[in-house]
Amino acid sequence: MASTEEIAPEKYEEQHVHEVYEQIASHFSSTRYKAWPIVKQFMQSLTPGSVGLDVGCGNGKYLAVNHDVFIIGSDRSSNLVKIASQHQPHAAIVADTLALPHQAASFDFAISIAVIHHLSTPERRTEAVAAILECLKDEGKALIYVWALEQKDSRRGWDEGSEQDLMVPWVMKIGKKNSPSGEATEKTFHRYYHLYRSGELESNIAAAGGEVVESGYEKDNWWAICKRKQIES
């Protein structure tokens, strides 16, 4: 975490992640409607009646993919949860990824898409993976998806060797109607991100006591499907 030694990580994230999402919620939501193929595939592979979690569900765009399973989405932003809760037959609650209100070993699956890269220390990122894994049944699987450092063909152009912890601007266009000046304008917000390098997500999963089932790279992101490490009997 860059030059914020004195600030507790949860305070830092409150200011540089949660407050920003709360403010940009509706604009953010209007730009987030296309499901990423890997996530879509994972969701569509679930058996009907499966019960699972979408940790850091945002506006709930992945709640729209499969209507034959029951998902409890959670997010810290109550403005985003309000939008997410409209996706039937699912549910959405306001909760913190590191203090999830779910019982251990109770869920068939979990997804956490573009969430844990907002946590500002390696310990907290590993703790988040552990919290997700803890909710899974023995045979349950979780899909975790994070932004990659290696994305030289993207608009941002970052690659190996770039800074991994950074503030990424979000430009919100404000139309004439909502602008105090009566003129169309824009406002820039900055969100904290930790960009994952190759292999780092897998290390987080191992450190959290999990096991990688499958992992890969999809358009500027690293993803991994993981489960709880089975204890040999």
The residues of the shown chain that bind other proteins, judged by CB under 8 A, are: 10, 47-51, 67-70, 72, 74, 76, 78, 81-82, 85, 88-89, 91-96, 99-104, 106-108
User: How near is the Cβ of 69 to other proteins at its closest, in Å?
Assistant: 7
Of 16 and 87, CB closest to other proteins: 87
Of 94 and 207, CB closest to other proteins: 94
Of 108 and 150, CB closest to other proteins: 108
Report the half-sphere exposure of 124 (CA within 13 A, side-chain side): 19
User: How near is the Cβ of 100 to other proteins at its closest, in Å?
Assistant: 7
Of 68 and 153, CB closest to other proteins: 68
Backbone angles phi, psi at 202, to 5 degrees: -60, -40
User: How near is the Cβ of 214 to other proteins at its closest, in Å?
Assistant: 24
Of 103 and 230, CB closest to other proteins: 103
Q: How far is CA 52 from CA 37, 48, 59, 140, 215, in A?
A: 19, 11, 17, 9, 20
Q: Are 75 and 113 in contact (CB under 8 A)?
A: no
Of 81 and 146, CB closest to other proteins: 81
Pairing of strands 165-174, 107-113: unpaired
Neighbours of 231 (CB within 10 A): 7
Give the DSSP letter of residue 156: S
Task: Using CB atoms within 10 Å of the CB of residue 31, give its burial: 0 to 12 exposed, 13 to 18 middle, 19+ buried.
Answer: exposed
Amino acid at 216: G
User: How near is the Cβ of 86 to other proteins at its closest, in Å?
Assistant: 10
Coil, helix or strand at residue 110: strand
